[in-house]
Amino acid sequence: MFFQIDAAGSVPVYEQIVRQVTFAIADGALRVGELVPSVRQLARELAINPNTVARSYRQLQDEGVLETVRGKGLQVATGSAKQCRSKRLHLIRDRFSQVLQEARQSQLSEDEIRQMIDAVMANGKPKRGDQ
């Protein structure tokens, strides 16, 4: 699998997995009906605790993104693609909203905020695809 885990960062590992699986489905990297790696295998590959992978998969099941196939494992559920794209949008938008709130709390004017956004968007274009 092409996931990357940052154990030292502040984002919980299980959230990183949930996020990356979700995004992979949204991108079409994982297709409906496809089997995701087994808990043990993924845990081995990412060098993390199987419990953590299990927890992520459980959450993805709760969200209806993954579903169990008896005797086989977990597969991407029907309708997940659309759902994941929508979820991805929401995630990003909520984050923007959060940051925007912070900015407003800081006594920055709408104009100052817009300027900052423009500056940031112009700047950070060619970064590493990761992190």
Rounded to the nearest whole angstrom, what is the least distance from the CB of residue 34 to a copy of itself in the complex? 14
Q: Does 13 bind a copy of itself (CB under 8 A)?
A: yes
Who contacts 48 (Cβ-Cβ below 8 Å, separation ≥6)?
5, 7, 13
Strand partners, 75: 35, 67
For residue 41, the partner it binds in a copy of itself, DNA, none, with Cβ less than 5 to 8 A by kind, is DNA
- Helix boundaries (H) for 1-131: 13-27, 39-46, 50-62, 80-105, 110-123
Q: Are 59 and 16 in contact (CB under 8 A)?
A: no
**Residue 35 interacts with a copy of itself (CB under 8 A)?**
no
> Smallest gap, in angstroms, from Cβ of residue 65 to DNA?
13
115 Cα distance to chain centroid: 28
For DNA, which is the closer residue by CB, 47 or 121?
Answer: 47
Applying CB under 8 A, which residues contact a copy of itself?
Answer: 7-8, 12-13, 23, 26-27, 49, 62, 67-72, 75, 88-89, 91-108, 110, 113-114, 116-117, 119-121, 123-124, 127-131
